[in-house]
Chain A
Amino acid sequence: MAGEIWCLAEQWKGSLSDATFEALALGRELSDALQVQLQAVLLGHAQRAMADKVFGVDRVLYVDNPAFAAPSPEQSAAALATLVSERKPRAVLITLTNTTWEIGALLAAKLRITYANCCKDVRVENGQLMARCVLYGGKMEVDVGSAQECVVFGLLAGVRPAMLRAETDVTVEEVAVAVPEVSCRFKGYREAEAGDIDITKQDVLVCVGRGIQTKDNIELAEKLAETFGGAVCGTRPVIDQGWLPLSRQVGRSGCIVKPKLYVAVGVSGAPEHVEGMKGSGLIVAINTDTTAPIFHVAHYGIAADAVEILPAITEVMANRKAKACATPH
């Protein structure tokens, strides 16, 4: 059979990622629309049991090789390339996380097929697969179509709500694929320094971005976070400046967080950051630039200078808290 919708099941450090199930949800839509099978490709080592957990697909192609014990984009792409040329799927969906985001490009170059990067949606139009891709830091979107027989799609996080995990039967096919040796070898992980706080477990996060301007202003964010009993986190530029430790980074290279309340201060809303926080319950954005993409993600927006507004908000919150505590029950 050919023409299936494939999805690369992303696994990292021993578990399947949430992003995989988001991709599968999309894959299922596409395969249903085209009336073809949805198949997942899982590359791992001694992880046959994990293949059983890739539910919601018609078939899991499991490739076992020591090379896949740790992320190796070149070898993953090589294995995929072999499988794709043999089995000729219609589309290969690859999640854009730090672990897998290069595989699509490698695969497309190897097989000389098209690749659509940063897809926020893929749909079927007149029997063709059309992707809606995000460009220029989120400032433009393009509709891209390809009449090719096989197309690779790089999917942004949150492309669909993740498929609910359920215990269903999964058909697993173990496939042997020759995996080439490469000179770039994984040696080990360096964990982030154990920070004092795990931001993924906080209910309230106040995120500071470049718009906070100076390290001293972070104090204002900290005071606000304190009134909520939450913590301060930061976007990549703030971490790169050394104003906050690595453990506080939110975004594609940092943590994915889902607090009940997320206050983004001086954050522009670049896609890499938004990926890390769009699952938050309530998002409030504070930024002097009214055209900043963050305002598309936020529920409430305040076009004001952080230095002006944060103390005011902190005071109001602190007062209400004090009143609440003082009120007899």
Chain B
Amino acid sequence: MRDPSLIRYLGVPAFGVMWLLALIACGVFAARVFQLIAVLRSARAEPRWDHLGQRLGLVVTNVLGQRRLLDEPVIGAAHLVVFWAFVFYAFAFWWALLRALVPVLPIPYPDEITWLAAILETFGVLGLVAIVIAAVRRYVFTPVSLERSRDASIILVLIAVVLIAFLTGTGARWVTSGHQGSIIAAGVGRMIARAGVSAESAAVLYLWAWWIHMVTVLGFLAYLPSSKHLHLLAAPFGVFFASLQPGILASGTEGAARVRDFTWRQLLSGISCAECGRCDRACPIFKGDTDLSPKQLIHAIKDATIAASKGANGEWRALGNRIQPEQLWSCATCGSCIARCPVFNEHIPLVVEMRRYLVAKGEIPARLQDTLMSLSRYGNSFGQSPRGRAKWTAGLDFAVKDAKKERVDYFWFVGDYASFDPRVQLVTRAAARVFHRAELDFGLMYEAEQNAGNDVRRVGEEGLFEDLRQRNEASFGKAQFAHIVTTDPHSYHTLKHEYANGNRGLEVAHYTEVLDALLRQGKLRPQTRLNIKATYHDPCYLGRYNGVYEAPRRVLRSLGVTLVEMPRHRDRALCCGAGGGRIWMQDVQTGERPAEARLREAANLPGVDTLVVSCPKDYVMFQDALKTTGLEGRLAVKDIAELMEAALH
């Protein structure tokens, strides 16, 4: 075979042409990439250089291993194939380009090395199969939030062309080199021969294939920074610089509206995004008829970053231009988007930063404003006197210790809804009776307890969050206790991770964890087996945010409950829609609400008559949804505390 780079066309050597094309393509590519990097550098700082080992581990699992993509198995497998095909083909390309540009180098072309050629051919065939699967999925079965965009079509076509060109070349080489090559080469070669191509023509065909391959890849290189395939470059960095603690928010900023207000990692989210739509499909609020789309949010950041890179500079406003306030207030901060994103984008911090900006300007929905004022004045979202916080204890026939006045083993942080909402008070009393039965040494802070601030922080009122935290920490400091137990997952998360307690090593437990321990220690002995078939709803801030899945299930099983899992369970659980301050705002949807969808999911399980919850907001949301869906006869909503108490009789 002749060296393709030495062939002359109209007197011009091929490598000359190649130099020109390569310089143009690389030039375009580099220019765009540097422009984007410049925007990232002008953005806010964010320290992400810690735990390098852990980060590398993430890259290995999620970039090389494509782990998160495999949650949608068919396309996951296909993408894994295409990814590795890309890795090998990219490697081979740069090698081939180097060799083509500098013909005097004493190295062979990559396809002249048998084992490498074999790998490339194998991935060529598998890759084509994967492309077909991808195309069919995108164009025939079109999943929700996957677009049939021109960009996507171009990419699919380009990849196909690259692979086909290579395979054609390898087949042509088989024909011209006297049937030397792998099985695949032989297969393609026979097809070429059967098509009537002679050996001489096959040599020409090889050159055509070579050029098409090289030019297509160069073209791809130049096109890359302008397409969603930018994720090829950015995503591995995105994964490396992922947040190792995605549930914890950065503290007080002025909020973000312009490109330069975001951090570089937040801007990187935009260009890492491959627009796969998993976040949308996971989002409980996203439906065709609402404004909130996690994917559109990231896309807006991408847009903004790109606009900024083209000279609009960091002043380019994302909020107000591409993102509207209504979209931001719709988010329930459930974390499903972040949990599913294959490139580890973080949608929630974006929402919170922009909410902070709106709060700083006072542009908040009216009902939310009232609630924030109530929280600021009274420390609770119910507009009630703080002195009424422990009124629920009046229904108990024993006294509950005041943790402010005497030492207790467990300080029970009850939370707003569990303290003030009449429906949840029943559950709170049941929990108190269970603790009492187990002879747990527990106490309350009574009127000194303030809202932990989880939703206040997520709504963007960082100043108020700091206020509440300060008030609470002052009370904690004066009291003596060994552990904190809470019945509210939102408080659990914030007390555990966003209060200084975390640094002091104070143990925060969810009451299901405590019940689990008590059962295993034999301090609680169920007297009755509850022969019910139930399903358990994992609260977002207990499950997805904190990985507590087993303790509640163990508790339920030990009560004799037959547990059936809903299709979306554990970290896939569908949020009830109350978080992120949404329970303090007007409903945004016109169609089915998340809580209603979840109830229907539970009702679809044959034989299941109870939906078990372990969060006060879930309890309230599902009780309401029972009425609006008309499922009152079909399902009952019960808290673990209620079931525990029933089993103790």
Given contacts A214-B587, A215-B586, A216-B587, contact A305 B627 (CB under 8 A): no
* Distance in angstroms between the alpha carbons of A158 and B366 in the assembled complex: 35
* Distance in angstroms between the alpha carbons of A241 and B367 in the assembled complex: 10
Instruction: Indicate which residue in B367, B423, B587 contacts A308 across the interface (CB closer than 8 Å).
Output: B423
* Distance in angstroms between the alpha carbons of A305 and B620 in the assembled complex: 12
* Distance in angstroms between the alpha carbons of A308 and B627 in the assembled complex: 9
* Distance in angstroms between the alpha carbons of A214 and B620 in the assembled complex: 15
Whether B627 lies near A288 (C-beta < 8 A) is: no
* A211, chain B: closest CB distance, angstroms: 10
* Distance in angstroms between the alpha carbons of A285 and B422 in the assembled complex: 17
Instruction: Indicate which residue in B586, B587, B627 contacts A311 across the interface (CB closer than 8 Å).
Output: B627
Whether A241 lies near B586 (C-beta < 8 A) is: no
| Minimal Cβ-Cβ distance residue in B for A215 | B586
Given contacts A288-B422, A305-B422, A305-B423, contact A241 B587 (CB under 8 A): no
B467 contacts A by Cβ under 8 Å: no
B624 contacts A by Cβ under 8 Å: yes
Whether A307 lies near B624 (C-beta < 8 A) is: yes
Whether B422 lies near A241 (C-beta < 8 A) is: no
Q: Which residues of the partner chain B approach A308 to less than 8 Å between Cβ atoms?
A: 423
* Distance in angstroms between the alpha carbons of A66 and B587 in the assembled complex: 53
Q: Which residues of the partner chain B approach A241 to less than 8 Å between Cβ atoms?
A: 366
> Total number of A-B contacts with CB less than 8 angstroms?
15
Q: Which residues of the partner chain A approach B624 to less than 8 Å between Cβ atoms?
A: 307
A304 contacts B by Cβ under 8 Å: yes
Q: Which residues of the partner chain B approach A307 to less than 8 Å between Cβ atoms?
A: 624, 627
Q: Which residues of the partner chain A approach B366 to less than 8 Å between Cβ atoms?
A: 241
Chain A, 285-305, contact with B by CB distance < 8 Å: what is the 0/1 string?
Answer: 000100000000000000011
Give the residues from 419 to 440 in chain B that come closer than 8 angstroms, CB to CB, to chain A.
422-423
* Distance in angstroms between the alpha carbons of A304 and B425 in the assembled complex: 13
Q: Which residues of the partner chain A approach B587 to less than 8 Å between Cβ atoms?
A: 214, 216
Give the residues from 570 to 614 in chain B that come closer than 8 angstroms, CB to CB, to chain A.
586-587
Give the residues from 337 to 367 in chain B that come closer than 8 angstroms, CB to CB, to chain A.
366-367
Give the residues from 196 to 236 in chain A that come closer than 8 angstroms, CB to CB, to chain B.
214-216
Secondary structure class of chain B's binding surface, majority of residues: helix
Whether B627 lies near A304 (C-beta < 8 A) is: no
Q: Which residues of the partner chain B approach A311 to less than 8 Å between Cβ atoms?
A: 627
* Distance in angstroms between the alpha carbons of A241 and B365 in the assembled complex: 12
* B525, chain A: closest CB distance, angstroms: 34
| Minimal Cβ-Cβ distance residue in B for A288 | B422
* Distance in angstroms between the alpha carbons of A269 and B603 in the assembled complex: 41
Given contacts A241-B366, A311-B627, contact A304 B586 (CB under 8 A): no
Instruction: Indicate which residue in A214, A288, A305 contacts B586 across the interface (CB closer than 8 Å).
Output: A214
| Minimal Cβ-Cβ distance residue in B for A213 | B367
Q: Which residues of the partner chain B approach A215 to less than 8 Å between Cβ atoms?
A: 586
Q: Which residues of the partner chain A approach B422 to less than 8 Å between Cβ atoms?
A: 288, 304-305
* A215, chain B: closest CB distance, angstroms: 7
* A286, chain B: closest CB distance, angstroms: 12
* Distance in angstroms between the alpha carbons of A215 and B367 in the assembled complex: 11
| Minimal Cβ-Cβ distance residue in A for B632 | A311
Q: Which residues of the partner chain B approach A214 to less than 8 Å between Cβ atoms?
A: 367, 586-587
* Distance in angstroms between the alpha carbons of A241 and B422 in the assembled complex: 25
* Distance in angstroms between the alpha carbons of A89 and B366 in the assembled complex: 50
Chain B, 408-425, contact with A by CB distance < 8 Å: what is the 0/1 string?
Answer: 000000000000001100
Chain A, 120-159, contact with B by CB distance < 8 Å: what is the 0/1 string?
Answer: 0000000000000000000000000000000000000000
* Distance in angstroms between the alpha carbons of A21 and B624 in the assembled complex: 48
* Distance in angstroms between the alpha carbons of A215 and B366 in the assembled complex: 12
* Distance in angstroms between the alpha carbons of A214 and B371 in the assembled complex: 13
Q: Which residues of the partner chain B approach A304 to less than 8 Å between Cβ atoms?
A: 422
Q: Which residues of the partner chain A approach B627 to less than 8 Å between Cβ atoms?
A: 307, 311
| Minimal Cβ-Cβ distance residue in B for A308 | B423
* Distance in angstroms between the alpha carbons of A241 and B423 in the assembled complex: 26
| Minimal Cβ-Cβ distance residue in B for A217 | B624
* Distance in angstroms between the alpha carbons of A307 and B620 in the assembled complex: 11
* Distance in angstroms between the alpha carbons of A308 and B587 in the assembled complex: 18
Indicate the member of A215, A288, A311 with the most B CB atoms within 10 Å: A288
* Distance in angstroms between the alpha carbons of A216 and B624 in the assembled complex: 12
* B388, chain A: closest CB distance, angstroms: 10
Give the residues from 224 to 264 in chain A that come closer than 8 angstroms, CB to CB, to chain B.
241
Chain A, 304-317, contact with B by CB distance < 8 Å: what is the 0/1 string?
Answer: 11011001000000
* B443, chain A: closest CB distance, angstroms: 26
* Distance in angstroms between the alpha carbons of A203 and B586 in the assembled complex: 32
* Distance in angstroms between the alpha carbons of A326 and B153 in the assembled complex: 66
* Distance in angstroms between the alpha carbons of A308 and B425 in the assembled complex: 15
Q: Which residues of the partner chain A approach B367 to less than 8 Å between Cβ atoms?
A: 214
Give the residues from 622 to 642 in chain B that come closer than 8 angstroms, CB to CB, to chain A.
624, 627
* Distance in angstroms between the alpha carbons of A321 and B137 in the assembled complex: 56
| Minimal Cβ-Cβ distance residue in A for B382 | A288
* Distance in angstroms between the alpha carbons of A67 and B566 in the assembled complex: 75
- Some 12 contacts from A to B, beta carbons below 8 A apart, are A214-B367, A214-B586, A215-B586, A216-B586, A241-B366, A288-B422, A304-B422, A305-B422, A305-B423, A307-B624, A307-B627, A311-B627
> With A214-B587, A311-B627 given, can you name 13 additional A-B contacts, CB distance below 8 Å?
A214-B367, A214-B586, A215-B586, A216-B586, A216-B587, A241-B366, A288-B422, A304-B422, A305-B422, A305-B423, A307-B624, A307-B627, A308-B423
The 8 A-B residue pairs whose C-beta atoms are closest, nearest first, are A288-B422, A305-B422, A311-B627, A214-B586, A216-B587, A307-B624, A305-B423, A215-B586
